[in-house]
Amino acid sequence: MIMITMNKIENNHSTNNDSYRHLFVIIESINNELIPASLEMLGEARRQMDHFNLKYKSNEKVIAIHLGHGIKDLSKDLISYGADAVIYADDPHLKYPINKIYTKIISQIVTDPHSLKEISPEYVSIFKKPRYMFFLADSIGRHLSSTVLAELDSGLASDINKLVISDLDIKHQHKTKGETIHYQKVLEMYRPDFSGFLWTTILCLDNKNPEIAKEFHPQACSIIPGAFQPCVQDTKRTGIISQFSPQFDEQDLKIKVVKQELVKNPVQFENYKIIVSFGRGIKEDPEANIKLVEKLAKILDAEIGISLPISKKIFHLNEKYDSIYITPNRVVGTSGRKVTPVIYIAVGISGAIQHLDGMKDSDFIIAINPDENSPIKDVCDVFIKGRMEDVIPVIIDELSKRSGQLKEKEIQVNTYGKL
């Protein structure tokens, strides 16, 4: 059987977007503890919708969707962090975020007008789907956002760190058949590329070209943890908390989590007072320069971080260095980890904004870089102008003269166990 019919072209597009309402935020928690980035996402949702309601003189809501088991009590927290309403589904089958089950329940909630009975009764009769949806760009949300949007048959942008809602005149070969058409309430989703220097703006737009006419809602994205600030908690805030009774497919309940173990990331930036990170400045002799950084880190008892471009394996390195250092869990930056050590030493990192966001709150920042015009200079306390090959040996030399003042510690490398 051929599945062409899966997508239906909606020729009847008289809805004029009335049926798409609200911003739905998919909250994540583990063992009944909210993942901090969920609150960041909620904070940004609050700011966006406050702005939206002011600009368009409307009253659309930030609705937090929360699935789990024994999670009802967290609903108040979500209100206090900016949600207008919380729809939660509480069931033993929802204890773990199993993709298939979560996807179906979330889709049920966001396409069921009755979900909104208490929250916005005025839209219940016309509501079809959310206007906007936010997910987290972590291991749970990334996949969940993909499958939910596949189910809702709409568009999605991943790894976003800036959002703007605006009205745009669009001229596009396919979307508008080359005509200029005014689109309202468009969510501009900014996605940094891997170099960290370029932003790509992604839009999810209805096809207004009559030959392929189709409405694409919600406009959805996954948000980089650490990209936005949460709202200040306000326990006085009030909102509607409503429970949703999920319907499960028997077949799906055969998918079972048999064991769950919280583990520490083998790279524990939090346990170190000093972090030394390196970037493309190692290029002249990558292996020798990593050795230098390694030596410096060892003397300083520091953990080693890397910049995002380095994680793309742009240099040929021996397997040891490759497997220890060139790993995503060492990336410092918005698409890696946010760190705040006592001292941050950036070696050969020019300072793409996405890297700076990940380290700029460190207490004391030192940069080693031959190029005085590098953006990193603007966020550091000491800028040592020079090549790492020249500067680090001097630092090591000077440090070893005072070796009594620092304790050496072996660099530990752990791996996750096998089945």
Partner 1 sequence: MENCDVTIVGGGSAGLAALKHLSSLGKQAILLEAGKEIGSKNVSGGILYSKKSNNGKIYNVEDIYGESFLTEYPYERKITKYILNATSKDKVFSIDLTESHNYQTNFGYSVLLNKLNSWFAQEAQNAAERLGGGIITGVHVRALKWEEKRSKIIVQTDELEEFETKVVIAADGVNSEIAEMANAREKFSPSELYQGVKVLVKLPEKIIEERFEINNSEEGAAHLFAGDVSLNLIGGGFLYTNRDSLSIGGVYHYDSLLENPIEPAEIVNSMLKNPLISELIKDEVPIKEIDKTLSKEQQVRKSFAITKLLNNWNELRQLYYSHKLKEKSIADRKYSSEDEIKSKLDNLTKRLTDEYNIKFKTNYIELEYTTKLVPDGKRGRMKKPYHKNILFIGDAAGRGLFFGPRIEGLNVGMDDAARASIAVARSLDKNNFDSDYLGEFYTRLVEESPYTVDMKEIDKQYLNVILNSTRKRIPSNVLGLKHKLLFNLVSNDGLRNFFITMINKYGYTRLLSFIESEDVYFKVPIKIADKLGTLNTASYIPQIPTIQDRVAKLCYHEDNISHIKILDSSKNFLRKMVVLCPTKCYSLEGDEVILQHEGCIECGTCSKETEWRHPRGEKGVIFKYG
Partner 2 sequence: MTLNIAVLVKLEPDFSEGSVSYNPDGTLNRAETKSKLGAHSAIASLAAFYTKVKYGGYISVSSMGPPMAEIALQEAQSICDADELHLYSDRLFASADTLATAEVLQQGIRKMNNGKEMDIVFSGHRASDGETGQTGPQTAWKLGFTFLGNVIDFSVDLNKRFILAKRLVALPGFYDIVEEIQAPLPVFIAIDPLYKPIFDTISLRLTSSRYLKEAKERAANYKTYLKVLDHKKLELDPRFVGLPGSPTIVHKVEKIPKARTTRTAELIEGYDREGIKNTITKILQLVQK
Report in angstroms how near the CB of residue 402 gets to partner 2 at its nearest: 7
Q: Which residues of 8-128 form beta strands (DSSP E)?
A: 20-27, 29-30, 33-34, 62-68, 85-90
Backbone dihedral angles phi then psi of residue 105, each to the nearest 5 degrees: -70, -45
- The answer to whether the beta carbons of residues 274 and 293 sit under 8 Å apart is no
- Residue 55 binds which one of partner 2, partner 1, none, with CB within 5 to 8 A depending on kind? none
- Residue 159 binds which one of partner 1, partner 2, none, with CB within 5 to 8 A depending on kind? partner 2
Name which of residues 302 to 321 contact partner 1 (CB under 8 A).
318-320
| Closer residue to partner 2 in complex, CB, 43/192 | 192
User: Is there binding between residue 288 and partner 1 (CB under 8 A)?
Assistant: yes
Report in angstroms how near the CB of residue 373 gets to partner 1 at its nearest: 8
Half-sphere exposure of 153 (CA within 13 A, CB side): 12
CB atoms within 10 A of CB 202: 16
Q: Does a cis peptide bond (omega within 30 degrees of 0) precede residue 130?
A: no
Name which of residues 398 to 417 contact partner 1 (CB under 8 A).
413
User: Is there binding between residue 283 and partner 1 (CB under 8 A)?
Assistant: yes
Report in angstroms how near the CB of residue 82 gets to partner 2 at its nearest: 19
| Closer residue to partner 1 in complex, CB, 148/388 | 388
Report in angstroms how near the CB of residue 326 gets to partner 1 at its nearest: 14
The span from the CA of 355 to the CA of 305, in Å, is 11
In the shown chain, the binding pattern of residues 349 to 388 toward partner 1, with x for contact by CB under 8 A and - for none, equals -x------------------xxx-xx------------x-
Residue 183, Cα to own-chain centre: how many angstroms? 26
- Beta strands 85-90 and 62-68: pairing type? parallel
Report in angstroms how near the CB of residue 54 gets to partner 2 at its nearest: 24
User: Is there binding between residue 287 and partner 1 (CB under 8 A)?
Assistant: yes
- Residue 227 binds which one of partner 2, partner 1, none, with CB within 5 to 8 A depending on kind? none
The span from the CA of 314 to the CA of 335, in Å, is 18
